[in-house]
């Protein structure tokens, strides 16, 4: 089980971009498609305090935010610390 979880949908271009970046950075992740599983949608709402957009990312169950927050953590060198 990967430490990074990506909440996404099947029609989200930013979700695809996020997956591409995670692969490029060599960070394994589990994808949770909230558009095809009601239980994942309920989990998504709870974990993200009701976020209304995807992608949303968690590390070890801790919500870090969306694509913007993910790239900011990476640029600041903090993402490596979170996923090591």
Q: pLDDT tens digits for 38-49? A: 999 999 999 999
**Domain encompassing residue 13:** 1-54
Residue 30, in any domain of the structure? yes
pTM of the predicted model as reported, rounded to 2 decimal places: 0.91
Residue 69, phi then psi, degrees to nearest 5 = -70, -35
CATH number of the domain bearing residue 43:
3.40.30.10
Residue 28, in any domain of the structure? yes
Per-residue confidence (pLDDT) for residue 15, from 0 to 100: 98
Per-residue confidence (pLDDT) for residue 80, from 0 to 100: 81
Residue 23, in any domain of the structure? yes
Residue 78, in any domain of the structure? no
Per-residue confidence (pLDDT) for residue 1, from 0 to 100: 65
- Count the helix, strand and coil residues of the chain and give each as a percent rounded to the nearest 5: 45, 20, 35
Residue 65, in any domain of the structure? no
- Residue pair 7/48 in contact (Cβ under 8 Å)? The answer is yes
Residue 80, in any domain of the structure? no
Per-residue confidence (pLDDT) for residue 79, from 0 to 100: 85
Per-residue confidence (pLDDT) for residue 53, from 0 to 100: 95
Residues of the chain with pLDDT under 50: none
Number of separate domains in the chain: 1
- Residue pair 17/9 in contact (Cβ under 8 Å)? The answer is no
């Amino acid at each position: 089980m990967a430490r990074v979880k990506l909440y996404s949908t099947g029609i989200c271009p930013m979700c695809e971009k996020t997956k591409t970046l995670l692969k490029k950075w060599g960070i394994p992740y589990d994808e949770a498609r909230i558009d095809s599983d009601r239980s994942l949608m309920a989990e998504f709402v709870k974990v993200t305090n009701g976020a209304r957009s995807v992608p949303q990312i968690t590390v070890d169950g801790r919500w870090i935010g969306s694509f913007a927050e993910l790239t900011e953590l990476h640029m600041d060198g903090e993402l490596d610390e979170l996923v090591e």
